[in-house]
Amino acid sequence: MKAAPPVEAAPVEAPQIGAPQAAPPLFRYLLRLGDLSLVLGQRLGEWVGHAPVLEEDLGLANIALDLIGQARLLLAYAGEIEGRGRGEDDLAFLREHAEYLNPTLAEQPNGDFGETIVRQVLIDAFQLELYERLASSSDGRVAAIAAKAVKETRYHLRYSSGWLVRLGDGTAESRARVQAALERLWPYTGELCEEDELDREMAERGVAPRLAEVRDGWSRRIDEILAEARLERPRDRPRTWFGKRGEHSEHLGYMLAEMQYMQRAYPGAQW
């Protein structure tokens, strides 16, 4: 038997696949918040140049920029907490899809304008309830970011709910389309306020609110908006995704491939 050729390769560090469970809990929690804003902001950005009218093009882009601004603050802080020298750009552009911890709803494709609006209402109401409470977080930095974000989010919900009412209480066609979008997206909402160990730990440390509280506030807001829009609230169905733990739908990978292309092709590129 011949001796095996000498192996020169240095021990390769196994790539981290999946959510880094060993990472500090606050780091993972910040990724949940930051990734939600980042992924939704990227989705809204896809409308730029394609919105039904120029005014909406700018309206959606403004919201996208607010969201990406929130993501920058949250991911920069996450990087500091992690303490491995990763900045906001490293976290945004160099993580795999399974390391993204946004709720799956955020990554759902834009569909038509009505479907984008439905997704936006569902998430705006959630972020509003969440940020209002995070503004009094025991973590001063989280509280400051939330206090800024809550003002932006109040406007986002005003914009999106206004549109949902127009479309829901509009023509037969617009009503049918947004009702169908609501049915399609509703199963993804279960995850938003479903508390797991990480949410519980954050709540016990006073960093985050109890998600049950957020759920009540969210549910009330959604009921009010749906009533005004004359839409029917779909029945709750068991979830099959859990993006908050890195278990995503197939859509996120494609979205990240486009979003991360430049940094992957030209590492460290700046503009």
Which residues contact another protein by CB under 8 A?
53, 55, 58-59, 62, 155, 158-159, 162, 166
Least separation, in Å, of the C-beta of 68 and another protein? 15
Q: How many residues does the chain have?
A: 271
23 vs 61, beta carbon nearer another protein: 61
- Name which of 226, 199, 203 is nearest 122 in CA terms: 226
Minimum distance from residue 62 beta carbon to another protein (Å): 5
129 exposure class (CB count in 10 Å sphere: 0-12, 13-18, 19+): buried
Q: Cβ of residue 203: shortest distance to another protein, in angstroms?
A: 35
Q: How far is C-alpha 54 from the chain's CA centre?
A: 25
* CB of residue 112 to another protein, shortest distance in Å: 17
Q: Which is nearer to another protein, 102 or 120 (CB)?
A: 120
| φ and ψ at residue 170, rounded to 5 degrees | -105, -125
Q: Which is nearer to another protein, 159 or 186 (CB)?
A: 159
Indicate the residue among 102 and 153 with the shorter CB distance to another protein: 153
Taking the complex as a whole, how short is the minimal distance between the CB of residue 158 and another protein, in angstroms?
A: 7
Q: Which is nearer to another protein, 13 or 55 (CB)?
A: 55
Residues 67 and 38 sit within 8 Å (Cβ to Cβ): yes
Helix, strand, coil: what percent of the chain each, to 5? 65, 0, 35
